[in-house]
Amino acid sequence: MNEQENKRLEELLETVQKPARYIGGEMNAVRKDWNGVRCTFGFCFADTYEIGMSHLGMKILYYLINQRPDALCERLFMPDADMADKMRDAGVPLFSLESRAALNEFDIIGFTLQYEMSYTNILEMLDLGRVPIRREDRSDQDTIVVAGGPCAFNPEPLAPFIDAFMIGDGEDVMHELIDVIRNGREAGLSRMDILKNLAKLEGVYVPALYDVEYNEDGTLKSFSPNDPAAPAKVKKRVVKDLSGAVYPEAIPVPYTEIVHDRMVLEIMRGCTRGCRFCQAGMLYRPVRERSMERLLELADKLQASTGYEEMSLSSLSSGDFTCLPQLIQALMDRYKDKRVSVSLPSMRIDNIVKQSLEETQQVKKSGLTLAPEAGTQRLRDVINKGVTEEDLIRSVTDAFECGWSTVKLYFMMGLPTETDEDLQGIGDLAKKVVDAFYRVPKEKRAKMGVKVTASASVFVPKPFTPFQWAAQDTIDMVHEKQAKLRQYLKLKNVNFNWHESELSMLEACVSRGDRRMGEVIYAAWKRGCRLDSWNEHFKFDQWMGAFQDCGLSPAFYAYRERPYDELLPWAFVDAGVSMDYLKKENEKAKRVETTRDCRHGCNGCGLNTWGVCDWVKNPPLKDKPQTAAPLAD
């Protein structure tokens, strides 16, 4: 950014809301000399500072890239609407927080894709940052735009805008990607040649090198590479040894309050519970745990470098971490004097922990969050959520006895095979939780009484899950069910929250979209859509207009059940979990059959042929009885 733009930005900051999120300068933000490095990486998060700064993946990669002496990484976030408009009016480009470099000054810019409904923000950021939005409009001099994260497993809806996708664990491929781009730039290679070199890396997908054809009915006819550099299948990258992997020892500590303002220890990656709706559970397989030794080392370093007063543990299912009670005990012992509180994952409180809880008050008694997901045992079996009502009641009773008094219950509506009985079950369950509170003796339970909040989100079928072929409920069906649920949840001490069904429908369209969905996203952005996941900015009508502009129907993407023999837009991605396994699971769901947690024995999900899953040969819970799934995390 030049002198003048900088001056205009300073003036802008005096007139926008929450200017502190645009200034950077945090402790542990990395400031490197641009002249001292060979490659500059602009890390983009397609949501506001408060959300992006709470995100772990960004912190890992920011740290990893900045460890390289030859490269630097700076952060860019989506400005809020007032700021975006004012920047455009004043001619101030999207800029990095560290050195206020414009987006288009970076050699590489990388987006992390966390949520489909942030995709219009990507276009807005590219536009504000003066980077041609469509990849085919970019010249050899233009920055190279890459993307990764969970949503990259179906990259097609963003194929018109992103030069290369990284699929799988980002820290495994990032160095190779930077090397290829840096070397290519230094050798003066054309953009296309650099992209072809990228396509040779395992886990990298370069959409320009693939052609797509459609059938008359709109389904995919063929999807194939048009260049020898491009593989027919793109295999996800996997970090094999999590303890040996890079993990940040220092993270920027924001001045303003963000969503999760604390240090986070990622204790493991992956989950083997096998819930059939859960995309993360399939994408992040196999399960890899960090060693206790490494975790405690990281905890000490993070505590010393951030000064945070709170630490939380992160993973998809922390209750399953082999040494969880020991870890929590060790952390609490260490941090008692340092006045650091430890946020406990879910509710599998072991007795040891329960005792220290009472002793030290070192654990925050914030609300308790549980996710039974469905209201009846039958439906929980369909989705393979191995939780019984008994588990749930025992967990909340435990918590009530420790003084907890607010409970959030998460449910999904519109799950495959759902009936009215399942909706009634949600009401019953909420009622039983309230009753459990009043069964706890008065002197043991909290004085203020119990508060139960039941939230029902709308089920969104996702790629690489056993339900990837399923139809989503129509908006009308959802409204009808929400009305019923309101009835069933008209209970004392119970609140009911529901989600925008329109947003969930669009999420279903985009998450299982093909390359043409990119045109819908583009048209929606042209019609003024951005910050879609913020209620006050969501413009459903404009999205519907965008579908019309492109001659596509949302029903085709959201409401249609796919036959098994249909070519799916993401089928060229090899996520490790095989399509055959997903089909098998889908069939089992129809028969209301559950599948065991594979820590009791390998279920042959597909990763067993990759040589990356330790549990194929040595399942840690072999011959042990099955335990209830954690209720939440």
Residues 6+ apart with CB under 8 A from 377: 388, 389
Tell me which amino acid residue 191 is: R
Nearer to another protein, 173 or 357 (CB): 357
Letters for 475-514 (x = contact with ligand SF4 by CB under 6 A, - = none) are ----------------------------------------
Among 608, 621, 630, 631, binds ligand SF4 (CB under 6 A): 608
Structure tokens at 215: 């059938």
Q: Decide: residue 558, CB within 10 A, 0-12 exposed, 13-18 middle, 19+ buried.
A: buried
Site string for ligand SF4, 272-311 (x = CB under 6 A): x------------xx-------------------------
Cβ nearer to another protein, comparing 27 with 232: 27
Q: Which amino acid is at 55?
A: H
Q: What is the nearest approach in angstroms of ligand SF4 to the Cβ of residue 168?
A: 15
The radius of gyration of the chain from alpha carbons, rounded to an integer in Å, stands at 24
Closest listed residue to residue 142, CA positions, set 158, 126, 156: 126
Binding test (CB under 8 A) with another protein, winner from 355, 361, 419, 609: 361
Per CB under 8 A, the list member of 4, 27, 213, 367 interacting with another protein is: 27
Q: How many CB atoms lie within 10 A of CB 216?
A: 6
* Dihedral sign of CA atoms 256, 260, 263, 266 in order: negative
- Residues whose CB falls within 8 Å of the CB of residue 570, separated by 6 or more in sequence, listed in order: 153, 154, 155, 156, 463, 464, 512
Burial grade of 614 (CB within 10 A; 0-12, 13-18, 19 or more) = middle
When binding is defined by CB under 6 A, the residue of 121, 150, 615, 630 that contacts ligand SF4 is 615
**How many Å from the N-terminal Cα to the C-terminal Cα in the chain?**
42
Only one of the segments 151-159, 189-197, 352-360, 612-620 lies at the binding site for ligand SF4 (rule: CB under 6 A); that segment is: 612-620
Q: Taking CB under 6 A as the rule, which mask of x and - marks residues 379-418 in contact with ligand SF4?
A: ----------------------------------------
253 binds, among another protein, ligand SF4, none (CB under 5 to 8 A by kind): another protein
Nearer to another protein, 10 or 420 (CB): 10
| CB of 303 or CB of 603, closer to ligand SF4 | 603
Nearer to ligand SF4, 122 or 602 (CB): 602
Supply the minimum distance, in Å, between the C-beta of residue 600 and another protein: 42
Is residue 145 helix, strand or coil?
strand
Distance CA 296, CA 331 (A): 7
Does residue 356 belong to the site contacting another protein (CB under 8 A)?
A: no
- Contact range with ligand SF4 by CB under 6 A, out of 29-37, 229-237, 560-568, 608-616: 608-616
User: How far is residue 415's CA from residue 464's CA, in Å, rounded to a whole number?
Assistant: 16
Confirm or reject binding of residue 603 to ligand SF4 (CB under 6 A).
Answer: yes
- Asked if 605 touches ligand SF4 (CB under 6 A), the answer is yes
Q: Measured between alpha carbons, how far is residue 611 from residues 156, 607, 608, 614 in Å?
A: 28, 7, 6, 8
Six token digits for residue 330: 């060790």
Q: Does 367 bind another protein (CB under 8 A)?
A: no
By CB under 6 A, what part of segment 90-109 binds ligand SF4? none
Nearer to ligand SF4, 395 or 586 (CB): 586
Q: For the CB of residue 614, give the shortest distance to another protein in the complex, in Å.
A: 37
Least distance to ligand SF4 from the beta carbon of 240, Å? 13
Amino acid at 538: F
Residue 78 binds which of ligand SF4, another protein, none (CB < 5-8 A, kind-dependent): none
Output DSSP code: residue 445.
Answer: S
Q: Which does 617 bind (CB under 5 to 8 A by kind): ligand SF4, another protein, none?
A: none
User: Beta strand pairing status for 220-225 and 210-214?
Assistant: antiparallel
**Site membership for another protein, residue 20 (CB under 8 A):** yes
SS3 per-residue string spanning 22-84: HCCCCECCCCCCHHHCCEEEEEEECCCHHHHCCCHHHHHHHHHHHHCCCEEEEEEECCCHHHH
> Is 31 near another protein (CB under 8 A)?
yes
Q: Are 492 and 434 in contact (CB under 8 A)?
A: yes
By rule CB under 6 A, what count of residues binds ligand SF4? 13
Among 485, 607, 621, 632, binds ligand SF4 (CB under 6 A): 607
Of 31 and 622, the one with the shorter C-beta distance to another protein is 31
The number of residues making up the chain comes to 633
- Tell me which H or E stretch contains 185: helix 170-186
Q: How far apart are CA 80 and CA 85, in angstroms?
A: 9
Find which of ligand SF4, another protein, none residue 27 binds, CB within 5 to 8 Å per kind: another protein
Partner in contact with 598, chosen from ligand SF4, another protein, none, beta carbon below 5 to 8 Å by kind: ligand SF4
Nearer to another protein, 304 or 592 (CB): 304
> Hey, what are 30's tokens?
């990395």
Q: Which does 168 bind (CB under 5 to 8 A by kind): ligand SF4, another protein, none?
A: none
Work out how close the CB of 58 gets to another protein at its nearest, in angstroms, rounded to a whole number.
Answer: 19
Asked if 362 is part of the footprint of another protein (rule: CB under 8 A), the reply reads no
Residue closest to ligand SF4 when measured from CB atoms:
598
Q: Taking CB under 8 A as the rule, does residue 255 contact another protein? A: yes
Which residue, 20 or 232, is less far from another protein as judged by CB?
A: 20
CA–CA gap between residue 499 and residue 473 (Å, rounded): 14
Size, binding site for another protein by CB under 8 A: 26
The neighbouring-strand residues paired with 288 are 269
In whole angstroms, what is the distance from residue 123 CA to residue 378 CA?
43
Using CB distances below 5 to 8 A depending on partner kind, what does residue 338 bind out of another protein, ligand SF4, none? another protein
* Segment interacting with ligand SF4, rule: CB under 6 A, options 342-350, 354-362, 396-404, 598-606: 598-606
Cα–Cα distance, 353 to 345 (Å, whole number): 12
* Stretch in the footprint of ligand SF4 (CB under 6 A) among 29-37, 174-182, 327-335, 601-609: 601-609
Asked if 258 and 50 touch (Cβ cutoff 8 Å), the reply is yes
- Residues 285-324, interacting with another protein (CB under 8 A): 304-309
- The answer to whether the peptide bond before residue 231 is cis (omega within 30 degrees of 0) is no
β-partners of residue 44 are: 76, 111
Q: How far apart are CA 537 and CA 546, in angstroms?
A: 16
Does 239 participate in binding another protein (rule CB under 8 A)? no
User: Which residues make up the interface to ligand SF4 (CB under 6 A)?
Assistant: 272, 285-286, 598, 602-605, 607-608, 613, 615-616
User: Which residues make up the interface to another protein (CB under 8 A)?
Assistant: 11, 13-14, 19-20, 23-29, 31, 253, 255-257, 304-309, 338-339, 361
